[in-house]
A and B are shown apart, each in its own frame.
Chain A
Amino acid sequence: MPQDNLVLKNLQKQGLLTASKPHVIILFMIRIVIDGEEQQLDTKKMRIETLLRRFHINPETALALRQGELLTEDEDLLEGDVCIIMRTTAEK
């Protein structure tokens, strides 16, 4: 099973994928949800490193996943990608 689905399924089952429990960021290249809030990302390509910096996420406290695969910080996200940023601990 793709890891993204597994993680999402877990989060939804536990009621964690809500605005009040900001633990995960789901990024669609056009549509993004950050800490429970949806945003538009006006770009077709973005490096994980840049993404983390843009959202002030310390890379020591997060991991990026795309289609079940862990991504290193030099990987590029392209339009249509679904990326999950998992924080090591809940943000708030």
Chain B
Amino acid sequence: MKCKKCGNKAVIKLRAHRIALCREDFLSFVLNRVQQTIKRYKLFVAKERVVVAVSGGKDSLTLFDILQRLGYPVEGFHIDLGIDGFSNRAREAVEVFFAKREAPLHIRFLREEVGAGMREIASQVRRPLCSLCGLMRRYIMNRFAWEKRFSALATGHNLDDEGAALLGNLMRWQIGYLARQAPVLPAIYPRLAKKAKPLALLSEREVLAYCILRAIEYHDEQCPYAKGATSRSNKEALNLLEYYSPGSKIRFYQEFLKHQGIFPDSASHDLRECSMCGFLTNRETCQFCEILEQYTGSPVPVRDSETGKG
């Protein structure tokens, strides 16, 4: 198979785009795709301070690599979740990656933030571990981005992630989530950095191919608590459609974005500051503070981000 652009030997066939590409042209294709996503959806501009949330997996490390190559002044942020063994190996992969690039990296330890690892918290709080983990990570990332005055928080969500989330939200008709699912979530509140997903138009296979071709050593280990996640079956379903009808995933997502306005975003109108930590919530107390309260058994004094006082 020949590269459609230069005629050299192709290394990958992209059926959704009806092209096969050689190594160099595929790497350029990926960079262009991400740059287009950033511009089309106004994720951020070159002057903005962007922090990339890095788990150590292929998506987040690939995202950092791409943004750096595109010339954005990015920094990395990793949360050590305190899951025995797994978290250590993830953190090591991140540290090696950033050391090689001499790029700025910030690490927060869940044990230092809240006094316990994810498993210990989950054992005390009545909530599924994955949901708990997602909630706590989002909170810590948002808070970090605010404390360090980053204007955008970029995550490695790819097209498969976005498609699976969209399918899940449609299956349950979660109108609020449908209204807010996008490659960029604007900073609707002073203490909140905007969220950006620059890989939203790249499939998981394209991201993996980029990672392999760049020899990025990522943490390729599944979280021990992630078995049976619904998102995986949604991804499988979409990839089956993609197999029979190439381009289905990208059409599904992009057409949704075009028509997203039909879903009313009522949740954004009810937002207020958490009575304990001051962060954005639609309740009296945010879920993060509620969880900490459940875990410790007493109200948790949360330090003020601006003054640093406890």
Q: Is B120 an interface residue (CB 8 A)?
A: no
Q: Please state if B239 and A60 are interface contacts (CB–CB under 8 Å).
A: yes
Which B residues touch A59, using CB under 8 A?
243
Closest-CB distance, A91 to chain B (whole angstroms): 10
- Once the chains are docked, how many angstroms separate the CA of A73 from the CA of B243? 13
Closest-CB distance, A32 to chain B (whole angstroms): 21
> Contacts A58-B243, A60-B205, A88-B208 known; A14 to B221 CB distance under 8 Å?
yes
> Which listed residue, A58, A69, A73, touches B239 by the CB 8 Å rule?
A58
B194-235 near A? 1/0 per residue, CB < 8 Å: 000000000111001100110101011110000100001001
Q: Is A43 an interface residue (CB 8 A)?
A: no
Closest-CB distance, B275 to chain A (whole angstroms): 40
Number of interface residues, chain A, beta carbon within 8 A:
29
Q: Please state if B212 and A70 are interface contacts (CB–CB under 8 Å).
A: yes
Q: Is B125 an interface residue (CB 8 A)?
A: no
Main SS of chain B's interface residues? helix
Q: Is B13 an interface residue (CB 8 A)?
A: yes
- Once the chains are docked, how many angstroms separate the CA of A21 from the CA of B215? 22
- Once the chains are docked, how many angstroms separate the CA of A6 from the CA of B1? 26
- Once the chains are docked, how many angstroms separate the CA of A58 from the CA of B240? 7
Which B residues touch A33, using CB under 8 A?
none
> Which listed residue, B1, B215, B217, B235, touches A74 by the CB 8 Å rule?
B1
Q: Is B242 an interface residue (CB 8 A)?
A: yes
Please report which residues of chain A, range 5-32, place their CB below 8 angstroms from some CB of chain B when the two chains form the complex.
6-7, 10-11, 14, 16, 21, 23
- Once the chains are docked, how many angstroms separate the CA of A67 from the CA of B217? 17
A43-66 near B? 1/0 per residue, CB < 8 Å: 000000000000000111111010
**Residue of chain A at shortest CB distance from B10:** A72
Q: Please state if A63 and B205 are interface contacts (CB–CB under 8 Å).
A: yes
Closest-CB distance, B297 to chain A (whole angstroms): 37
Q: Please state if A3 and B205 are interface contacts (CB–CB under 8 Å).
A: no
> Which listed residue, A11, A58, A70, touches B12 by the CB 8 Å rule?
A70
Which B residues touch A10, using CB under 8 A?
217, 220
Q: Is A71 an interface residue (CB 8 A)?
A: yes
Q: Is B143 an interface residue (CB 8 A)?
A: no
**Residue of chain A at shortest CB distance from B232:** A89
- Once the chains are docked, how many angstroms separate the CA of A1 from the CA of B213? 12
Closest-CB distance, B6 to chain A (whole angstroms): 15
Closest-CB distance, B24 to chain A (whole angstroms): 13
Which A residues touch B205, using CB under 8 A?
60-63, 88
Q: Is B162 an interface residue (CB 8 A)?
A: no
Q: Is A86 an interface residue (CB 8 A)?
A: yes
- Once the chains are docked, how many angstroms separate the CA of A71 from the CA of B242? 20
Q: Please state if B209 and A63 are interface contacts (CB–CB under 8 Å).
A: yes
Closest-CB distance, A12 to chain B (whole angstroms): 11
- Once the chains are docked, how many angstroms separate the CA of A14 from the CA of B89? 8
- Once the chains are docked, how many angstroms separate the CA of A72 from the CA of B278? 53
**Residue of chain B at shortest CB distance from A75:** B1
- Once the chains are docked, how many angstroms separate the CA of A6 from the CA of B214? 12
Which B residues touch A69, using CB under 8 A?
11
- Once the chains are docked, how many angstroms separate the CA of A65 from the CA of B211? 13
Closest-CB distance, B235 to chain A (whole angstroms): 7
Of the candidates A16, A72, A86, the one having the most CB atoms from chain B within 10 angstroms of its own CB is A72
The 5 closest A-B pairs by CB, nearest first: A70-B11, A88-B204, A72-B1, A60-B239, A60-B242
Interchain residue pairs with CB less than 8 A apart (20): A3-B215, A6-B215, A7-B212, A58-B239, A58-B240, A58-B243, A60-B15, A60-B242, A61-B204, A61-B205, A61-B239, A63-B12, A70-B23, A70-B213, A71-B11, A72-B10, A75-B1, A88-B205, A89-B204, A92-B227
What residues of chain B have their CB less than 8 Å away from a CB belonging to chain A?
1, 10-13, 15, 20, 23, 89, 160, 203-205, 208-209, 212-213, 215, 217, 219-222, 227, 232, 235-236, 239-240, 242-243
